[in-house]
Chains A and B, each alone.
Chain A
Amino acid sequence: DGGITQSPKYLFRKEGQNVTLSCEQNLNHDAMYWYRQDPGQGLRLIYYSQIVNDFQKGDIAEGYSVSREKKESFPLTVTSAQKNPTAFYLCASSKSPGQGAYRVNSPLHFGNGTRLTVT
């Protein structure tokens, strides 16, 4: 079955350490996304990638970094510069949305998330 796999489900780290969250998809989707979800805040976009070797900042990219070396994989690194890293992180993918007015709508497919706790 095709889907998105995030690992690990739970992650605990001490303050000051970088940590990398994994996201793998076998849906053959071009676009991948990282969202952060805090209680009462909804989903906020961290980074997204429309194609291999290219990615763009979302609304809250500070303190995070990503790479897109393969179509299937879009790992997120939470760096020590992120001031409030404890959150639930969701990875998502979609078919290539196209450009501008010719974008093709495609619902996002989400992974099961990683809950990161930094103490």
Chain B
Amino acid sequence: EDKVVQSPLSLVVHEGDTVTLNCSYEVTNFRSLLWYKQEKKAPTFLFMLTSSGIEKKSGRLSSILDKKELSSILNITATQTGDSAIYLCAVEDPYYSGGGADGLTFGKGTHLIIQP
């Protein structure tokens, strides 16, 4: 069974701080790793990572994959209260039938709270 573990499960920081969220995985046939942000309702897509060592960046958010360590990090610099959300990590294993058409397995998420 494929596994995705996110840490920490919750994190409280002050506005302006930099945070690093972790996602580690155990899958049989890795295809991609995805990050989503869930503020109140619908998760929204942030990044899809397929190659090790190549950073993806969007504004203050960045993410990188380390296939050797079977992990990914999501960095948020100069945090703002609007960054408060649950950050979900998912890993795609196209041969894992339990994860649906894309073989996706989700982690439990990191609940990030940014205090003013």
Which of A's residues lie within 8 Å of B, judged by CB? 4, 31, 33, 35, 40-45, 48, 50, 56, 58-59, 90, 94, 97, 100-101, 103, 105-113
> Are A108 and B45 touching (Cβ within 8 A)?
yes
Interface size on B, residues (CB 8 A): 30
Residues of B contacting A100 with CB < 8 Å? 94-95
Check B44 for interface membership: any CB of A closer than 8 A: yes
Residues of A contacting B6 with CB < 8 Å? 42
Q: With A and B bound together, what is the CA distance between A44 and B101 in angstroms? A: 14
> Which chain B residue has the least Cβ–Cβ distance from A51?
B101
Residues of B contacting A41 with CB < 8 Å? 108
> Are A107 and B98 touching (Cβ within 8 A)?
no
> Are A42 and B107 touching (Cβ within 8 A)?
yes
Taking A42-B106, A111-B42 as contacts, is the C-beta distance between A58 and B100 under 8 angstroms?
yes
Q: Which of B4, B48, B102, B108 lies in contact with A103, CB distance below 8 A? A: B102
> Are B43 and A90 touching (Cβ within 8 A)?
yes
A100-B94, A105-B50, A107-B48 known, 12 other contacts, Cβ within 8 Å: A33-B100, A42-B88, A42-B107, A43-B43, A59-B99, A90-B42, A100-B95, A108-B45, A108-B104, A109-B45, A110-B42, A111-B42
